Amino acid sequence: MEKKESRQAKGIKNKTFDTKKFNGSKTSNHEKDKSLPWWVELLFVQLGLPDKWLIKILKSKKKSSQLIKNEKRLIFTLFFGFTLLAYFYPLVKYSKSKLDCEAIAKNYIKENKNLIKINRKQIRMLSTNFCNGGKEIYEIKEIKK
Which residues touch 51 (CB under 8 Å, ≥6 apart)?
A: 44
Which residues touch 105 (CB under 8 Å, ≥6 apart)?
A: 126, 127, 128, 130, 131, 137
Q: Is the pLDDT of residue 27 over 70?
A: no
Distance CA 50, CA 55 (A): 9
Band of the pLDDT at 112, cuts 50, 70, 90? confident
pTM of the model: 0.47
Distance CA 101, CA 108 (A): 10
Q: What pLDDT does 144 receive?
A: 47
pLDDT digits (tens, 9 = 90+) for 28-72: 555 565 787 888 888 888 888 898 999 999 999 999 999 989 999
Nearest to 36 by CA among 23, 45, 24, 27: 45
> Helices 72-113 and 51-70 meet at what angle, rounded to 10?
90
Distance CA 104, CA 106 (A): 5
Band of the pLDDT at 5, cuts 50, 70, 90? low
Q: How many CA atoms lie within 13 A of 35 on its CB side?
A: 5
